[in-house]
């Protein structure tokens, strides 16, 4: 058993790559801070990266200002379809659900699937699995976006954590794209696309145009760059690849040393982060952030 050092950890969350109206900026920062604090509570008590990522994403899912869980946008049929995933960097296990309509916190179903051989369950199959595992269900209307809370185009939420054991976790949750084709699934529940985590390397969680992120294998690209580069340079490499197909995205990254960085080419990207040696902070644009050493 590795020695437990709960004094060394790092966590970063995001609330989506998008345009945030000025009157909603404070709510986005506040939502990110609350999510970070939920994760920090777990990490300082010696909890795992998976537990901290789940707790942080649950807070973001429950906040209607973000397009995930409660606050999800409707597809072209006027229905909710949520996707979520979590990846455990210690054994590369992944739990993911897609096109679910009745799961109160889709990240809970993803976590329940982590210990199963199955990686991804969709629609009714995922909901049946969730019910069997005691994950809370709800009515689709309970998840619908509140118009005034979510007039920013809305986006995905995500989290990356490294805990005191050196274990890394990455998570995503989304209501998908507003008005999307029914049954459409984006990058968020797909490992190597919307998220990735690997002990000894780090983790990443993405938001943005799912099709472009899938086509460029953006999370995978970033992780391979992270083996030999700082989080900032690894993100830059992934965005250079994304430029081949031209799309907006945002990325949060932590490496195996606990170094944190984030990048976006969307106008705004709400992010909050904290580390054992750094108080929680939140921003809506990268240029506002003096960097983790400040």
Residues interacting with ligand ASP, by CB under 6 A?
16, 155-156, 174, 176-177, 186-188, 207-208, 210
Cα distance between the two ends of the chain: 34
Beta bridge partners of 171: 86, 159
In total, the chain counts a number of residues equal to 294
Strand pairing class (157-162; 249-255): unpaired
| Backbone angle region of 86, left / alpha / beta, with phi > 0 → left and psi within -120 to 50 → alpha | beta
In whole angstroms, the minimum distance from the beta carbon of 132 to ligand ASP comes to: 26
Q: Please, which residue, 166 or 189, has the CB nearer to ligand ASP?
A: 189
Catalytic residue IDs: 156
* Token couple for 240: 């250079």
CA distance linking residue 207 with residue 156, whole number of Å: 6
Nearest residue (beta carbon) to ligand ASP: 210
Other Cβ atoms less than 10 A from the Cβ of 245: the count is 14
In whole angstroms, the minimum distance from the beta carbon of 195 to ligand ASP comes to: 10
Instruction: For residue 166, give the nearest of 89, 278, 53 by alpha carbon.
Output: 89
Question: Using an 8 Å Cβ cutoff, are 207 and 68 in contact?
Answer: no
Collapsed DSSP state (helix, strand, coil) of residue 161: strand
Q: Please, which residue, 71 or 208, has the CB nearer to ligand ASP?
A: 208
Other Cβ atoms less than 10 A from the Cβ of 131: the count is 14
Q: Please, which residue, 108 or 187, has the CB nearer to ligand ASP?
A: 187
Q: Please, which residue, 127 or 248, has the CB nearer to ligand ASP?
A: 248
In whole angstroms, the minimum distance from the beta carbon of 183 to ligand ASP comes to: 12
In whole angstroms, the minimum distance from the beta carbon of 220 to ligand ASP comes to: 15
Q: Please, which residue, 14 or 281, has the CB nearer to ligand ASP?
A: 14
Strand pairing class (82-88; 278-283): unpaired
In whole angstroms, the minimum distance from the beta carbon of 43 to ligand ASP comes to: 25
């Amino acid at each position: 058993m590795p020695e437990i050092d709960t004094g060394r950890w790092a966590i970063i969350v995001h609330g989506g790559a998008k345009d945030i109206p000025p009157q909603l900026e404070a709510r986005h920062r506040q939502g990110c801070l609350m999510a970070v604090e939920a994760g920090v509570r777990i990490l300082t008590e010696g909890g795992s990266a998976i537990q901290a990522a789940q707790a942080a994403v649950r807070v973001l899912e429950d906040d209607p200002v973000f397009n995930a869980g409660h606050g999800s946008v409707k597809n072209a049929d006027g229905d909710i379809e949520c996707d979520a995933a979590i990846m455990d960097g210690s054994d590369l296990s992944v739990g993911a659900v897609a096109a679910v309509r009745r799961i109160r916190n889709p990240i809970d179903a993803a976590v329940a699937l982590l210990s199963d051989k199955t990686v991804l369950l969709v629609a009714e199959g995922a909901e049946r699995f969730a019910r069997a595992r005691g994950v809370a269900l709800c009515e689709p209307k309970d998840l619908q976006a509140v118009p005034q809370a979510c007039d920013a185009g809305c986006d995905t939420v995500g989290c990356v954590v490294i805990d005191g054991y050196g274990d890394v976790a990455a998570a995503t949750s989304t209501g998908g794209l507003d008005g999307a084709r029914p049954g459409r699934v984006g990058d968020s529940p797909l490992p190597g696309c919307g998220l990735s985590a690997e002990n000894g390397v780090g983790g990443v969680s993405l938001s943005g145009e799912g099709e472009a992120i899938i086509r460029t294998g953006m999370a995978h690209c970033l992780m391979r760059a992270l083996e030999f580069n700082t989080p900032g340079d690894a993100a830059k490499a992934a965005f250079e690849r994304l430029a081949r197909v031209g799309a907006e995205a945002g990325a949060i990254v932590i490496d195996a040393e606990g170094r944190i960085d984030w990048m976006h080419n969307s106008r705004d990207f709400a992010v909050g982060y904290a580390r054992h040696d750094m108080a929680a902070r939140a921003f809506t644009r990268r240029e506002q952030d003096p960097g983790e050493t400040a």
